[in-house]
C-alpha cells in the first residue's frame, strides 16, 4: 500500500493561484456596471477628499438605512453620525487614494452591485510621502430608479 504525503504549502499555493485566476476572470462581468461603479467611487471619494467644501455631496451618497462596519470604529447606522464623524475627523486631515487596479464589481440581481477593493488613507499632517498601509473595503450600492446609494460599507485596515 502506497502512502502519499500531502504538501500543505503546495495545496495553498495552488488554491491561491486558482483563486487569483478566478478573480481575474470575474473582475468585470458587466463592463457598463463596472464603469458606473468606478465613476461613483471616484465621485464619492472625491467628495470625501474635499469634504470641507463638498460635505453635502459626500453625505448624499449614503442611504438613510446605512450600515457602516469599521474594524476599528465598530458599527454605525446613522447617516448623520457618519457625516458628522467625517467632518470632525477627516475633513482637511485625511485623504484617500484607491489602489490602482484593485476594484472588483459584482452585480446583485434586482438590487445593485458590490464593490470590493483596496485603498490607502494618508494623514495630511504627516510629512508628504509617509507610507500608508492598504486597507480592504466593500461597498454595497443600491440602484433605485437609476439613483445609486451606498447601503453597506465594510472597512478593514
- Cβ 117 vs Cβ 102: under 8 Å: yes
The domain containing residue 107 runs over which residues? 28-156
In a domain, 125, yes or no: yes
- What does each C-alpha distance from 4 to 1, 7, 58 come to in angstroms? 10, 9, 58
pLDDT at residue 50, rounded to an integer? 95
Residue recorded with cell 434586482: 110
- What does each C-alpha distance from 67 to 32, 63, 88, 93, 135 come to in angstroms? 26, 9, 19, 24, 18
In a domain, 107, yes or no: yes
In a domain, 19, yes or no: no
In a domain, 92, yes or no: yes
In a domain, 18, yes or no: no
Q: C-alpha cell of 46?
A: 472625491
What residues does 123 pair with on adjacent strands? 94
pLDDT at residue 17, rounded to an integer? 37
In a domain, 37, yes or no: yes
In a domain, 97, yes or no: yes
pLDDT at residue 43, rounded to an integer? 97
Number of structural domains (the chain) is: 1
CATH number at residue 113: 3.10.450.50
In a domain, 102, yes or no: yes
pLDDT at residue 72, rounded to an integer? 93
Mode of pairing for the β-strands spanning 147-156 and 62-70:
parallel
Q: Residues 74-108: pLDDT tens digits? A: 999 999 999 999 999 999 999 999 999 999 999 99
Per DSSP, the three-state class of 8 is: helix
Any residues with CB less than 8 A from the CB of 117 and at least 6 apart, and which? 41, 98, 99, 102, 103, 104, 136, 137
For the chain, list residues with pLDDT below 70. Answer: 1-29
Q: C-alpha cell of 79?
A: 447617516
- Cβ 138 vs Cβ 153: under 8 Å: yes
pLDDT at residue 28, rounded to an integer? 52
Per DSSP, the three-state class of 77 is: coil
Amino acid at each position: 500500500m502506497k502512502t502519499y504525503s500531502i504538501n500543505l504549502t503546495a495545496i495553498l499555493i495552488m488554491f491561491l493561484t486558482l483563486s487569483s485566476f478566478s478573480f481575474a476572470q470575474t473582475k468585470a462581468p458587466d463592463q457598463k456596471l463596472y464603469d458606473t461603479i468606478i465613476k461613483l467611487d471616484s465621485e464619492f471619494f472625491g467628495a470625501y477628499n474635499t469634504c470641507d467644501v463638498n460635505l453635502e455631496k459626500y453625505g448624499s451618497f449614503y442611504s438613510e438605512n446605512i450600515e457602516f462596519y469599521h474594524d476599528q470604529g465598530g458599527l454605525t447606522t446613522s447617516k448623520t453620525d457618519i457625516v458628522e464623524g467625517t467632518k470632525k475627523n477627516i475633513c482637511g486631515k485625511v485623504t484617500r487614494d484607491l489602489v490602482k487596479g484593485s476594484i472588483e464589481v459584482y452585480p446583485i440581481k434586482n438590487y445593485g452591485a458590490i464593490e470590493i477593493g483596496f485603498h490607502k488613507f494618508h494623514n495630511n499632517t504627516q510629512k508628504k510621502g509617509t507610507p500608508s498601509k492598504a486597507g480592504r473595503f466593500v461597498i454595497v450600492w443600491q440602484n433605485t430608479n437609476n439613483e445609486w446609494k451606498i447601503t453597506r460599507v465594510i472597512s478593514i485596515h
